[in-house]
Amino acid sequence: MSAVLSLYLHIPFCRKKCPYCDFYSLPAEESLMDAYEAALRDRLREWGGRLSRPNVHTVYFGGGTPSLFGAARLMHLLEAASAAFEIAPGAEITAEANPADVTDDFARALFASGVNRVSLGIQSGNDGELAVLGRRHTTRAAAEAVWLLRDAGFRNLSLDLMLGLPGSTGETLGRSLDFLTSLSPEHISAYLLKIEPGTPFAARADTLSLPDDDGAAEQYLLAVRALAEAGYAQYEISNFARPGFESRHNLQYWRSGEYLGLGPAAHSFLSGRRFFYPRDLAAFLSGNAPVDDGPGGNFSEYAMLALRLAEGLSRAACAARFPDGAARFSELLRRAETLPARLILCSPERVSLTAEGFLVSNAVLASLLS
Ligand code: SF4
């Protein structure tokens, strides 16, 4: 195991299910959330004993809806994490929040708990779109949440935006981008809506007036351009930040660093193995073991993750990580040089995808790594 570890704690509770979402989450009941907090504290203790106090440099509460879990429970979990692991000074500690849950008291208690970064699921700057998405908040509540978090002391906020929404156009997206950037966050994540099998959106996909592939691509490229103009550099397919505010937690994933994920549906990568806890809260509460998901971190996997990043894949990093890394990089570079320059940038030392390349990254990666 390397010296630096990221910790992910899944909070699988939501007030109600959004019709597009297939994340693992259940209705938020107080007694269940208490039991879950206790189970997570047990697991933190257990893993802390197994891993001999690694240096944790990021903690991420994802969901589900961590803000529903409440600041006190998140604080208890951070205390348990600090007792089990070495949390590095200045660690990035993120909690996802629904704007509808952010009150003045919540924002202040969250800041006092040690969380220093909040990821707010704003999703759109149009109230009509928020209603179609089944979100619990309005644009006004979203703006208020940002102001309350700023007042409480947060200096690192990330806002989520969804692209390719039902009925959306370049104009509606333009309004959303103006709205998000007017709130002046440090970081913005912009994801294209994907219709996940088994969701209510999948059941009525034909009636949703979704943009076609070209329309969705235009929206993505519009977002990339507008965010760049507003000072947000694209550093990953779907992520944009002001300088120095890239998500350190997510960079750990994309740079193939090690992470421990606790909670049902949480995945881990440790000592060259991948494993996960199944999507089963009852099993997690009864202390189930994670399921082995095989070896991880080979060259193809490493390259695939690195090429999600604007910094791309470097010869030096490949050579430092794999005995045959320089040769594997050269082979990948030879293939990359046969692809159109509008999709991929090549130099003797580095290969990276352009914004247009990100749009078709699956096909590009398949031709580079097949
Ligand atoms: S609040 Fe988030 S995790 Fe919960 S159902 Fe909606 S999108 Fe999914």
Express each pLDDT in 260-279 by its tens digit: 999 999 999 999 999 999 99
Distance CA 236, CA 231 (A): 15
pLDDT score for 3 = 66
Distance 33 CA to ligand 1 centre (A): 16
187-192 and 313-314 beta bridge pairing: unpaired
Strand (E) or helix (H) holding 43: helix 30-51
User: Hey, what are 341's tokens?
Assistant: 């320059």
By most ligand atoms within 8 Å of CB, the mutation choice from 11, 14, 133, 195 for ligand 1 is 14
pLDDT for 227 equals 98
What are the two backbone dihedrals, phi and then psi, of residue 157, each rounded to the nearest 5 degrees? Answer: -120, 140
Ligand 1, atom 3: nearest CA belongs to which residue?
A: 64
Is 298-370 in the same CATH topology as 4-252?
Answer: no
Protein residue whose Cα sits closest to atom 6 of ligand 1? 18
Task: Choose one of 16, 25, 160 to mutate for the ligand 1 pocket test, by most ligand atoms within 8 angstroms of C-beta.
Answer: 25
Does an H or E element contain 118, and which? strand 117-123
Name the superfamily (CATH) of residues 4-252.
Answer: Aldolase class I (3.20.20.70)
H or E segment at 207?
none
Q: Give the position, in ligand 1's atom list, of the atom nearest the Cα of 20.
A: 7
For 272, residues 6+ apart whose C-beta sits below 8 A from its C-beta are: 295, 296, 297
Give 202's DSSP letter: H
pLDDT by 10-residue block (mean), the chain, 370 residues: 85 95 92 98 95 89 96 98 95 98 98 98 97 96 98 98 96 98 98 95 94 96 98 98 98 97 97 97 97 96 98 98 97 97 97 97 94
Note whether 333 and 346 are within 8 A (CB): yes
What is the CA(295)–ligand 1 centre distance, in A? 30
Ligand 1 midpoint to CA 141 (Å): 17
Q: Does domain 298-370 have CATH number 1.10.10?
A: yes
Ligand 1 centre and the CA of 249: distance in Å? Answer: 20
pLDDT at residue 52 in the model: 78
Q: Is the CB of 14 under 6 A from ligand 1?
A: yes
Residue boundaries of the structural domains of the chain: 4-252, 298-370
Ligand 1 pocket test: which of 10, 21, 98 has the largest number of ligand atoms within 8 Å of its C-beta? Answer: 21
Question: Secondary structure of the chain: what % helix, strand, coil (to 5)?
Answer: 45, 25, 30
The whole-number pLDDT of residue 123 equals 97
